Amino acid sequence: MAFEGLSERLQETIQKIKGKGKVTEQDVKAMMREVRFALIEADVNLKVVKEFVKNVSERAVGSDVMKSLTPGQQVIKIVQDELTNLMGGEQSPIQFNNKPPTVIMMVGLQGAGKTTTTGKLANLIRKKYNRKPLLVAADVYRPAAIQQLETLGKQLSIPVFSMGTEVSPVEIARKAIDQAKEEHNDVVIIDTAGRLHIDEELMQELKDIRAIKEPDEIFLVVDAMTGQDAVNVANNFNEALGITGVVLTKLDGDTRGGAALSIRSVTEKPIKFIGMGEKMDALEPFHPERMASRILG
């Protein structure tokens, strides 16, 4: 299960302080030392760990906490608050364009779960928001990716726009947006090419697609299992392209949690959705507060 190690260690640590009628600065220091180790072990970005420890410590040694009747509880509440803040605080909803179609670009490296997530997102947008999505197969370098999207579209009864592999992705995206207007599809979700590594060519292609019609969302799909690599990928995509949000996939696996806890802080872009399995309904809006509660038990 995701976050298992982190969860266990944090729970163990806060258990020690929970029932205390009196909490000293020494107690807080000792607790934060353990919290720090737990976060580092969970592969959380070092700068993020430092900032987190500093924020919690500053708040926890405040006189209103120390002198309160339940200082242990208060300290735990602070840890929970700061974990929530670390992951972005509020849930961040999809930005729909009030002049349809809303354009959503899906970007990411190969294997992260981009095509699967594209299908899941269309499914969620139709179900939850009652909209009519059009999927766009713009990964022309991998015929298998186009086929995969077409299969998902069939399975979901959601239309897929494709022009094979001989037409440029920019042309495909442009035509797809035109068709969406004609057919009254109010959301266009473009599955762009994935590569094994970030390269100039990929970024240029994504910028060219972005230039057709400023997307309302650019979602970067990253694999939670890859830890700090996912954070670096997010940072690079964000700097080159300006993403609007992250979808963190494979949180149903046994990820240590580093990506989930670091991405927001490092990129200042919210995690909007989490992938919780391979099935088409396994995509959930990301709720920082719920995730913090889950981690702290």
Q: Which residues are annotated as a binding site for GTP?
A: 108-115, 191-195, 249-252
Task: For residue 110, count other CB atoms closer than 10 A to its CB.
Answer: 15
Q: Residues 179-195, buried b or exposed e (16+ Cβ, 10 A)?
A: bbeeeebbbbbbbbbbb
Q: Is 268 left (phi over 0), alpha (psi -120 to 50) or beta?
A: left
108 binds ligand GDP (CB under 6 A): yes
CB of 265 to ligand GDP, least distance (A): 22
Distance of closest approach, residue 2 Cβ to ligand GDP, in angstroms: 10
210 binding ligand GDP? (CB under 6 A): no
**Which is closer to ligand GDP, CB of 59 or CB of 114?**
114
Q: What share of the chain is helix, strand, coil (3-state, %, to 5)?
A: 55, 15, 30
> Which two structure tokens, joined as six digits, stand for 259?
């990506």
Restricting to residues 16-75, which ones interact with ligand GDP according to CB under 6 A? none
Which of the ranges 9-17, 18-26, 49-57, 272-280 carries the binding residues for ligand GDP, by CB under 6 A? 272-280
115 touches ligand GDP (CB under 6 A): yes
* Residue 173 found at the interface with ligand GDP (CB under 6 A): no
Q: Between 69 and 196, name the residue whose CB sits nearer to ligand GDP.
A: 196
Q: Work out which of 4, 41, 168, 253 binds ligand GDP, going by CB under 6 A.
A: 253
Please, which residue, 76 or 158, has the CB nearer to ligand GDP?
Answer: 158
Q: Are 83 and 296 in contact (CB under 8 A)?
A: yes
Q: What angle do CA 151, 117, 228 make, to 5 degrees?
A: 140
Residue the block writes with tokens 């934060």: 32
Strand 133-137 versus strand 187-191 pairing type: parallel
Among 250, 256, 272, 287, binds ligand GDP (CB under 6 A): 250
Return the residue of 57, 84, 116, 185 that touches ligand GDP, per CB under 6 A: 116
Q: Does 277 bind ligand GDP (CB under 6 A)?
A: yes
**Of residues 276, 272, 275, the one with CA closest to residue 285:** 272
Residues that bind ligand GDP (CB under 6 A): 108, 110-116, 194, 249-250, 252-253, 275-278, 282
